[in-house]
């Protein structure tokens, strides 16, 4: 298995490490310069990687269909294996967007003492009708527009990235996917951020996190869709840096 990853400012040896977990169609390149901007603003180190099937990491086999537990497997199997392969021996901060946010939550719940804190941006904790409707629209766009060519700039195989994500989200049994009950195991600080105009989910997603993890800090961004790091990058960076700096001194 080949995993694409880049490090940001490794020379800041005493600084917190922030690991960036991308969205369902994301990759190292699709973050563009946001991880660098956030790490520079906070004086952090960064680690950005593409999950299997994305970016320049090993593509998904054509006959491989993900099951309802695909995000659990990313959090409980793939992420620990990646950390082990790069010999990570510290407690990182996780910054996860969309599916990456869900994976960050699941990792923090499964390994409550292995993470310093998490920032989740437009995460999913259950499946909403609006999410499915927009993912169906994405399917139609992939079949009828130049979306495959545009995604091809960021992935070795656009089909691998798109169909792995799209098929499972539109798989009828996935409508019952729900991780709310698992969030109570989280013991680290949590910042949950979402755009008020998110086209892939309602604010109930982050409000549901706060009900399960009472110490969660919520940030609701007006005039912002599903990608705060693109729609409101300055506010996203200030919120994340303020949160990490508030809690880093108290994190053993």
Residue 249 scores a pLDDT above 80: no
pLDDT range class, residue 251, cuts 50, 70, 90: low
Residue 70: Cβ within 10 Å count: 21
Q: How many residues are listed for the chain in this entry? A: 252
Taking all residues of the chain, what is their mean pLDDT, rounded to a whole number?
96
pLDDT range class, residue 224, cuts 50, 70, 90: very high
Residue 207 scores a pLDDT above 60: yes
pLDDT range class, residue 241, cuts 50, 70, 90: very high
Q: What sign for the dihedral angle of Cα 123, 129, 134, 138?
A: positive
Q: What percent of the chain has pLDDT over 70?
A: 98
Residue 252 scores a pLDDT above 70: no
Residue 63 scores a pLDDT above 90: no
Q: pLDDT tens for residues 145-155?
A: 999 999 999 99
Per-residue pLDDT at 248? 85
Q: Which of 21, 41, 39, 40 is nearest to 31 (CA)?
A: 21
**Rounded average pLDDT over 124-150:** 97
Q: What b/e readout covers 44-62, taking b as 16+ CB neighbours within 10 angstroms?
A: bbbbbbbbbbbbbbbbbee
Distance, in Å, from the CA atom of 45 to the CA atom of 36, rounded to the nearest integer, reads: 9
Q: What sign for the dihedral angle of Cα 196, 200, 204, 209?
A: negative
DSSP summary character for residue 180: G
Residue 214 scores a pLDDT above 90: no
Identify the three-state secondary structure at position 69: coil
Distance, in Å, from the CA atom of 204 to the CA atom of 244, rounded to the nearest integer, reads: 24
Task: With beta carbons less than 8 A apart as the criterion, state whether 14 and 22 touch.
Answer: no
**Rounded average pLDDT over 166-171:** 97
Identify the three-state secondary structure at position 83: helix
Per-residue pLDDT at 215? 87
Residue 122 scores a pLDDT above 80: yes
Per-residue pLDDT at 62? 83
Per-residue pLDDT at 250? 58
Task: With beta carbons less than 8 A apart as the criterion, state whether 97 and 25 touch.
Answer: no
Q: Which two tokens stand for residue 71?
A: 């995000």
Per-residue pLDDT at 208? 97
Q: How many angstroms separate the Cα of 128 from the Cα of each of 53, 73, 124, 213?
A: 25, 21, 9, 21
């Amino acid at each position: 298995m080949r995993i694409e990853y880049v490090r940001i400012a490794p020379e800041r040896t005493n600084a917190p490490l922030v690991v960036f977990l991308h969205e369902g169609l994301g990759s190292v390149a699709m973050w563009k310069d946001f991880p660098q901007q956030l790490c520079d603003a906070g004086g952090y180190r960064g680690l950005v990687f593409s999950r299997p099937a994305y970016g320049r990491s090993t593509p998904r086999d054509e006959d491989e269909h993900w099951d309802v537990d695909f995000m659990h497997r990313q959090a409980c199997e793939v992420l620990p294996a990646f950390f082990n392969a790069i010999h990570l021996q510290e407690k990182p901060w996780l910054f996860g967007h969309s599916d990456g946010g869900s994976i960050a939550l699941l990792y923090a719940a499964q390994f409550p003492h292995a993470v310093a804190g998490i920032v989740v941006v437009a995460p999913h904790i259950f499946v909403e009708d609006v999410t499915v409707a927009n993912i169906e629209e994405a399917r139609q766009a992939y079949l009828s527009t130049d979306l495959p060519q545009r995604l091809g700039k960021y992935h070795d195989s656009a089909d691998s990235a798109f169909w792995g994500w799209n098929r499972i989200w539109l798989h009828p049994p996935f409508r019952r996917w729900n991780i709310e009950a698992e969030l109570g195991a989280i013991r680290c600080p949590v910042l949950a951020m979402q755009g008020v105009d998110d086209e892939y989910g309602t604010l109930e997603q982050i409000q549901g996190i706060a009900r399960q993890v009472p110490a969660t800090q919520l940030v609701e961004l007006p005039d912002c869709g599903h990608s705060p790091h693109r729609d409101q990058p300055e506010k996203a960076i200030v919120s994340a840096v303020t949160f990490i700096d508030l809690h880093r001194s108290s994190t053993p």
